[in-house]
Structure 1
């Protein structure tokens, strides 16, 4: 037998083997698809839930652009609203539309302005209680939270919940935090782990381009860094230092809540914090002669007048504690200077509103947490 004949026979054997393996792979793939489609869990749920609605057309991913100029000012608010209205069904929800509570929760969890949105296309409708344990395995990359929402059979996006049935899913990873922007390593980890999650729940992740995501993350972080403002008002004793045992009682009467770290928090009346106070000494200290009231500006809504409330509190404590309101250099802060600062706070609020991230909003609380 010649070498040519041997080569032809060998090639034929390899070809037949390849065809056999390919057919087995196709058979396995088809069997898994059938098992998923006709498993008892899917069948029972869909029979109870009724027919799922037609799929919602995919929408183009929105890319944030804050148009930062000198001083960190936001871009045109009208343009921002036009680009970043969240898609929650077949239509875009506008400011005058009535949005269901579940949809509001969904758009606050996976927000196209501050999150990288990653659609997860499902082969079949899935139950929330079946996929939640898998989704819970991927909740953070670095210090960036990951949230998930689903398109329910009712036709509305909502947070994934037990008892829900979903025809589409979306994951969202926050693009920036107070400290850092989403980086390449975090995004690579997200993509790798999210593909594993998608395989386990029978979905396919539509991964956005890393270059675009990194550009958005850096832009958003520049905005956050430029608006990470905290304002302090100090009280200095006019005489002897205050005894801590007496001071704590006076602060509690003023309305402050004591924190485990030794700070005091002024409640806003709705479970949040309006501003805080530090005694500027360690927990074991017996006295202090210097108090600092601190307002975290971007996390307090303008309607609460956080700066005005903080100044009013300081003025009330001046008489109670025999103190003087001073700046960080211990120079007295006159009413004129406090008025100028208040004007700057109002401008700050306008900048955040123009960027569609109002101070005290869910977006601001997520970014400045």
Structure 2
């Protein structure tokens, strides 16, 4: 049961107990009145001959407003009060739910903005607008500056509601923030790319009526090189191989076995194990060209920084390899064709955990939006 339901039950119990107690008191008073009427120092009206005894009214527990009983009106008032309290609580719950939904929406917009322009991996490019501008006007111009070399460029806006968010049609923004990614898997942002970016940024700013704030090139280049060193040192891909124990496998037969194992076959010939949320855990290569009809070796490959620790990509890949080993009559081997024992696989799993710790310490958790941008 929810907290609201428990609260309503508790309040109802208190009101019912109050009504019950009140009626008991009234009943007690009525009983005392009867006792006094039948006391020894009073005449027994029931013993008077020829007289009609007075009509006796017992306390009533009816909730009918017209009922003559003493407790009926109070019961109705208690029920009405309980309904009023319940309605008040319902209103508070609805307001609380609305506030929580609004907060969740704000958090979602903030996360979306951070995924586009991230101070941890981007060079920030503030733009002060001369006046508030609509997203409809800004977007066509901003979309002309999407890349600096092979580094993506993104923009977010500070809305009139006082929040940073992705720029959308219908939004109104008082200032902008650009960001160019400092490094990728292949290279760091270099002087030529940055110079070209600044030139194009100023031209674009003039078109939308904004004044850009351009960071110092020397500082930006130093940050870019530091980030790229980290990316290069953590660009880890782990492979597990399956070697046929007999004749090579026919590709046509192999495709069916891999699909039963859960792999998606991509148009380019890649085999990918989906993670259930639109991403992938690991991939598989047949180690031959599309023109080949057979293969004697399969390689399962895990892109370590792109898979969150909670998904246990390495554990899932090893489990898949063991299943295929039985299904295809194969042996799990390393890159040098040496069998991989369970102890060796457990040792590698420990190294993967150490790798995840290092990425967390650098505030670039494996599988996060930040990591996916750097290691895409």
Q: TM-score range by the shorter chain?
A: 0.7 to 0.9
Alignment-derived partner of residue 227 in structure 1: 234
Instruction: Quote the offset at 1:332 in angstroms.
Output: 0.2
Matches within 5 A, 1:270-285: 270-285=277-292
Instruction: Quote the offset at 1:261 in angstroms.
Output: 2.1
Distance in 1, Cα, partners of 2:354 & 2:152: 30
Does 1:100 find its partner at 2:100? no
Alignment-derived partner of residue 336 in structure 2: 329
Higher relative contact order (CA 8 A, sep 6+): 1
Distance in 2, Cα, partners of 1:124 & 1:100: 26
Give the one of 140, 149, 162 matched to 1:142. Answer: 149
Does 1:187 find its partner at 2:194? yes
Distance in 1, Cα, partners of 2:224 & 2:190: 8
Give the one of 182, 185, 197 matched to 1:178. Answer: 185
Alignment length (residue pairs): 273
Partner-residue secondary structure (3-state), 2:115:
helix
Give the one of 334, 340, 349 matched to 1:342. Answer: 349
Does 1:301 find its partner at 2:323? no
Measured against aligned partners, the alpha-carbon deviations of 1:40-65 in whole angstroms (never above 9, x if no partner) come to: xxxxxxxxxxxxxxxxxxxxxxxxxx
Partner-residue secondary structure (3-state), 1:332:
coil
Partner-residue secondary structure (3-state), 2:247:
coil
Does 1:218 find its partner at 2:222? no
Partner-residue secondary structure (3-state), 1:328:
coil
Instruction: Tell me the TM-score normalized by structure 1.
Output: 0.73
Partner-residue secondary structure (3-state), 1:336:
helix
Give the one of 169, 178, 183 matched to 2:176. Answer: 169
Partner-residue secondary structure (3-state), 1:100:
helix
Larger radius of gyration: 2
Unaligned ranges ≥5, structure 1: 1-96
Give the one of 323, 326, 329 matched to 1:319. Answer: 326
Alignment-derived partner of residue 368 in structure 2: 361
Unaligned ranges ≥5, structure 2: 1-102
What is the CA RMSD across the aligned residues, in angstroms? 0.9
